[in-house]
Amino acid sequence: MAESKYYVVKQKAVPEVLLKVVEAKRLLESGKARTVHDAAAQVGISRSSFYKYQDDIFPFHDDARGRTVTVLLQMEDVPGLLASVLRRVAESRVNVLTIHQTIPVNGVAMLTLSIEVLPGAEDVSAMLDKIEHLDGVHDLKILARE
């Protein structure tokens, strides 16, 4: 089997230096820092760390537009929870391609949701965060990005 070139990981699993590189890039893009030196100093990393990782890390939403994202949710079988999940999806203006929910076992169901991230869609990572924090959602995993 061929090795993957890209991985999707949650923020808590990413080393601090990489998160600081993302923040430095945001400062440069927003104009809050004029130079790499300024941005690196503001976030507390060296310029060499910035240059070493700048092309290797980016927020999930920066690369999601025009793609299909499939997520797996483990959620309680309670009335209205699926509707709340789909409401978050609709609010983000992404297109639902497929949806499959298993029959609940011990009050917990698995939901597989494939969405198409259209131009003009809102930040997908923010949408996933909102879904993950709904009462009754136990876990959310990104299965695939195409």
Per-residue pLDDT reduced to its tens digit, 121-135: 888 888 999 999 999
Q: Where are the domains of the chain?
A: 11-58, 63-145
d(CA 114, CA 40): 37
pTM metric for this prediction: 0.61
3-state secondary structure of 74: strand
In CATH terms, the fold of domain 63-145 is Alpha-Beta Plaits (3.30.70)
d(CA 101, CA 109): 7
Mean pLDDT of the chain: 87
Question: Mean of the pLDDT values across residues 82-102?
Answer: 94
pLDDT band for position 11 (cuts 50, 70, 90): confident
Q: Which residues fall within 8 angstroms of residue 111, CB to CB, at 6 or more apart?
A: 72, 73, 75, 82, 85, 99, 100, 101, 102
Least confident range from 6-15, 88-97, 106-115: namely: 6-15
Q: Of 55 and 90, which is predicted with more confidence?
A: 90
Q: What is the sign of the dihedral through the CA atoms of 94, 100, 102 and 104?
A: positive
Q: Looking at the DSSP assignment, which residues form a beta bridge with residue 95?
A: 116
d(CA 92, CA 16): 28
